[in-house]
Structure 1
């Protein structure tokens, strides 16, 4: 290659950063922190400027004070732990059920044709309608909340896994078959690994839906948990307490989602980042 051709070649693009000596990840984190500070500042000052009553829109400092009070006297940590436990159990069992049913339906089109109308009907039925029924069956325990969480987590994971199993490259399957692989080996070596990206996409969705399902169960028939704390604060006209419960539920959802992202990066580290879902 001549010197002129080398000079005319386009130079590789460099990743932009927030400034000299600042990595892209650090710049992104600083921007996110700045947005958070702006939101909290607006929460603190806008109700004062608008002269909004505290029972309608309490300032952020009042919510923090109420959170500290509930932590010291209202068993906030206990309610937080109960809801977190229900979310984890409901998410885990719902994910396992969705994975199992998705694999079974993906491998057997006949089974899918038989069961899909009933699975669709179960998904269409409002989950709120099941919560009172579960409470009547199992009382004011954690089990109705876990069941609602399982129901709401199950469908997105099942659909993602089913679609992934159906779209496995047939050439890869035929290649493994030429090596005299058994049906179980084909699933273990080709079909299941191919479904992992879709599975984790469903897990991301399910991690947030699990919080919604558990909260619905606690709102309908709970005597413990952040959902119960939310209803109790609403009954007392304690708007700051309602915000405390909402923030607690948000924290649980963020931690659950972050856990799925961490597991996805550990399991799918071999896939180029451009082909994976964004964090």
Structure 2
């Protein structure tokens, strides 16, 4: 399917979705306070823009997502590389990393709020925790699956350990790394939202809770839509960077999600 057909298909699907959002609630008899129509949600978005500082709250959430994603990804890359290059370190640290991953991240959010107060730091920390594992596990798996024959070949050319890593191991791990980053870009939004829902006075998560407390269903939809847009932008940014970085690789070897 060519790009033109793909764009047309996406446009038709979007138009169908928006049409159903507008008219389906009325067809099935759902009142506005249960499921607001598209026009009601757009009107509420305009009101929140002018009266509830929707742009400011969206910017704060976007900043928290960006920082949580970047810091969590860097931490995941560093730990993944370290464990991939050292089986001993992996054997020692894996149980603790697994325990951290199994522990529900929602449970950490109140603790971070107690420690750091109603600031952006608890939200960023929750995002870091959620982002860390998928990036780390993808990098670790990639480092461990590098062809040993290629490593031995580079060693015969008197390459140093750093040169082996920078010229062979890390480039080989890039496709897996970007697979993890794609997942992490969406999880970062979830992490920040959890933090804002648990304890916050700024951000789209805060607006969502405030709208829910007021019985403002349209406001809840506005907040959810804003979070979705931020997630889509983050995911698209990762794809754009991936295409720039991996342009030299055959398309068949790239992720297709």
Which category of TM-score, normalised to the shorter sequence, fits these structures? over 0.9
Bigger radius of gyration: 1
Paired with 1:50 and 1:28, the residues of 2 have a C-alpha distance of: 31
Matched, 1:242 2:220: yes
Paired with 1:46 and 1:209, the residues of 2 have a C-alpha distance of: 30
SS at match of 2:206: helix
Paired with 2:9 and 2:256, the residues of 1 have a C-alpha distance of: 17
Deviation (angstroms), 1:71: 0.7
SS at match of 1:115: helix
Deviation string 1:106-145 (CA, Å, 9 cap, x unpaired) is 0000000000000000000000000000000000000000
SS at match of 2:32: coil
Deviation (angstroms), 1:274: 1.8
Within the candidate set 38, 52, 55, 2:16 is matched to 38
Matched, 1:185 2:163: yes
TM-score, with length taken from structure 2: 0.99
Paired with 1:183 and 1:46, the residues of 2 have a C-alpha distance of: 62
SS at match of 1:58: coil
SS at match of 1:121: helix
1:72 maps to which residue? 50
Within the candidate set 27, 30, 47, 2:5 is matched to 27
Paired with 2:49 and 2:9, the residues of 1 have a C-alpha distance of: 31
1:21 maps to which residue? none
1:149 maps to which residue? 127
Q: How many equivalent residue pairs? A: 257
TM-score, with length taken from structure 1: 0.91
Paired with 2:74 and 2:176, the residues of 1 have a C-alpha distance of: 14
Deviation (angstroms), 1:51: 1.9
2:82 maps to which residue? 104
1:251 maps to which residue? 229
Deviation (angstroms), 1:73: 1.1
Paired with 1:43 and 1:25, the residues of 2 have a C-alpha distance of: 27
Within the candidate set 133, 136, 139, 1:158 is matched to 136
Deviation (angstroms), 1:31: 0.6
Within the candidate set 86, 90, 98, 1:120 is matched to 98
Paired with 1:122 and 1:65, the residues of 2 have a C-alpha distance of: 43
Deviation string 1:180-215 (CA, Å, 9 cap, x unpaired) is 111111101000000000000000000000000000
SS at match of 1:37: helix
Deviation (angstroms), 1:72: 1.1
Paired with 1:255 and 1:43, the residues of 2 have a C-alpha distance of: 22
* More RCO (CA 8 Å, sep 6+): 2
Higher mean displacement: 44-53 or 84-93:
44-53
1:168 maps to which residue? 146
Deviation (angstroms), 1:60: 0.7
SS at match of 1:27: helix
Query: How much is the aligned-residue C-alpha RMSD, in angstroms?
Result: 0.7
2:181 maps to which residue? 203
Provide runs of 4+ in structure 1 moved above 4 Å. Answer: none
Paired with 1:143 and 1:247, the residues of 2 have a C-alpha distance of: 23
Deviation string 1:35-88 (CA, Å, 9 cap, x unpaired) is 010011011111111221111001111000000111111100000000000000
2:111 maps to which residue? 133
SS at match of 2:158: coil
Higher mean displacement: 49-58 or 233-242:
49-58
